[in-house]
């Protein structure tokens, strides 16, 4: 993984010179796993069809690695044509510093205000009444992916919620399986914690902690239950020595592990492996507990450029990405939900349909990327990776979590 990150950095630096000719637009992103690469190729295809040229600037490793490279390039005066960030606050200061261009004209012409659903997505792209980014998909974190084969091998029925999953774990272990596959990176563990918080604690608790940043609630009895469950997750994940999330998903796909808590982007991996939702694997939104999803996901930002031809191409790209056809093609491959309420996802599989249904019910919340700053997220990731690697008690971890929420911004 790290070697690939290096390679990508090197190719990235070599790729700069040929981004110079007109209407070639370099787009940086961190979509490098099998399913992701297939999805982003749809964007490239649609953009190339307009006569412009998509210069792919994939940065491998993880979003964390990629974002620091993107930010240094933009602040260092070497901006790309367009770049991916997650919905929310990651590019907040870049926008405020005037390094990004607004897309008001295109938004007006395409009437995005009325087609983007849920509207909160567009709101998190706005600053002082101007639109600075376009959401391209909705990704939700709140999924438990289960290997039907692993449970069949262990001789227990596939669980329908988190409690049943924990109860079925001993049988899995007896069959020589690791119950919960977890990649050893902080953000993946934070994801599990946040999912448990929303799944077991419910919407109000989630918002009290992350939106109101109420340290008393974060240190209280309700969150204590979540940390107890996290303690279970830690026990169940013993022996999963993989690093990246797709390696962990591969363990579920091959039936070596019982399940994985991961966002719906894991779905793309199942699809690439030719697995069928419902028969080969099972997905439980909200971990089978509270049926809420957070509307995280990816957005595209467009750095301010001097070259008028490239600026024109940026507008074309924005239009292409949000067109109904591209939205459908891209999201089917990516396993995410489209940002337009008016497209038909007839080809969607079981899991995506579950997600669409929740979206339709309006059971959507802002993701942590939108609620807390990257600084707080980093500290949270550190805490979680420490908790998973060491014998820290749930009580100590909660105490530090409460302190973190108190100083959060």
| Chain residues that interact with other proteins, rule: CB under 8 A | 2-3, 6, 64, 67-68, 71-72, 75, 90, 92-94, 97, 184-185, 241, 243, 373-375, 377-379, 382, 385-390, 400, 407
State the nearest-atom distance from the C-beta of 40 to other proteins, in Å: 23
Nearest to 168 by CA among 192, 187, 182, 148: 148
State the nearest-atom distance from the C-beta of 69 to other proteins, in Å: 8
State the nearest-atom distance from the C-beta of 368 to other proteins, in Å: 14
How far apart CA 261 and CA 285 sit, in angstroms, is: 10
Identify which of residues 152 and 389 has a Cβ nearer to other proteins in the complex: 389
State the nearest-atom distance from the C-beta of 379 to other proteins, in Å: 7
Which three-class secondary structure string do you get for 67-123?
Answer: HHHHHHHHHCCCCCCEEEEECCCCCHHHHHCCCECCCHHHHHHHCHHHHECCCHHHH
Identify which of residues 6 and 224 has a Cβ nearer to other proteins in the complex: 6
Task: Provide the strand spans (E) within 175-320.
Answer: 178-180, 257-261, 281-285, 293-294, 298-301
State the nearest-atom distance from the C-beta of 402 to other proteins, in Å: 14
Nearest to 270 by CA among 178, 183, 147, 188: 147
How far apart CA 129 and CA 360 sit, in angstroms, is: 27
How far apart CA 269 and CA 108 sit, in angstroms, is: 36
Identify which of residues 231 and 382 has a Cβ nearer to other proteins in the complex: 382
How far apart CA 172 and CA 150 sit, in angstroms, is: 7
Nearest to 277 by CA among 336, 350, 335, 337: 350
How far apart CA 262 and CA 268 sit, in angstroms, is: 12
Identify which of residues 33 and 185 has a Cβ nearer to other proteins in the complex: 185
Identify which of residues 116 and 371 has a Cβ nearer to other proteins in the complex: 371
Identify which of residues 234 and 334 has a Cβ nearer to other proteins in the complex: 234
State the nearest-atom distance from the C-beta of 283 to other proteins, in Å: 28
């Amino acid at each position: 993984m790290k070697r690939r990150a290096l390679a990508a950095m090197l190719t990235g630096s070599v790729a700069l010179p040929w981004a110079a000719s007109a209407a070639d637009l370099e787009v940086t992103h961190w979509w490098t796993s099998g399913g992701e690469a297939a999805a982003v190729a749809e964007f490239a295809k649609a953009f190339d069809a307009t006569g412009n040229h998509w210069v792919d600037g994939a940065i491998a490793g993880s979003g964390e690695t990629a974002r620091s490279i993107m930010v240094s390039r933009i602040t260092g005066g070497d901006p790309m044509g367009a770049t991916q960030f997650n919905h929310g606050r990651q590019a907040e200061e870049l926008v405020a510093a005037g390094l990004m261009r607004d897309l008001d004209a295109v938004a007006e012409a395409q009437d995005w205000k009325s087609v983007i659903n849920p509207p909160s997505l567009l709101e998190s792209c706005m600053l002082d009444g101007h639109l600075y980014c376009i959401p391209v998909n909705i990704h939700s974190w709140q999924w438990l992916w289960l290997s039907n084969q692993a449970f069949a091998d262990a001789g227990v029925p596939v669980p329908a919620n988190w409690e049943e999953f924990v109860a079925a774990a001993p049988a899995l272990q007896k069959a020589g399986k690791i119950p919960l596959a977890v990649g050893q990176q902080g953000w993946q563990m934070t994801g599990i914690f946040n999912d448990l918080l929303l799944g077991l604690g419910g919407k109000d608790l989630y918002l009290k902690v992350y939106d109101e940043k109420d340290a008393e609630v974060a240190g209280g009895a309700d969150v204590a239950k979540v940390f107890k469950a996290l303690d279970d997750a830690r026990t169940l994940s013993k022996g999963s020595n993989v690093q990246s999330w797709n390696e962990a998903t591969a363990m579920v796909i091959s039936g070596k592990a019982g399940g994985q808590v991961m966002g719906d982007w894991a779905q793309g991996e199942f699809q690439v492996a030719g697995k069928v939702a419902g028969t080969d694997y099972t997905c439980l939104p909200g971990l089978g507990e509270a049926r809420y999803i957070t509307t995280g996901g990816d957005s595209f930002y467009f750095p301010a450029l001097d070259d008028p031809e490239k600026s024109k191409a940026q507008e074309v790209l924005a239009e292409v990405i949000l067109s109904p056809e591209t939205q459908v093609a891209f999201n089917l491959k990516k396993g995410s939900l489209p940002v337009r309420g008016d497209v038909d996802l007839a080809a969607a599989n079981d899991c995506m349909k579950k997600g669409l249904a929740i979206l339709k019910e309006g059971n959507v919340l802002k993701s942590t990327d939108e609620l807390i700053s990257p600084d707080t997220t980093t500290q949270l990731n550190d805490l979680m990776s420490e908790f998973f690697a060491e014998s820290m008690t749930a009580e100590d971890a909660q105490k530090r979590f409460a302190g973190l929420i108190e100083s959060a911004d």
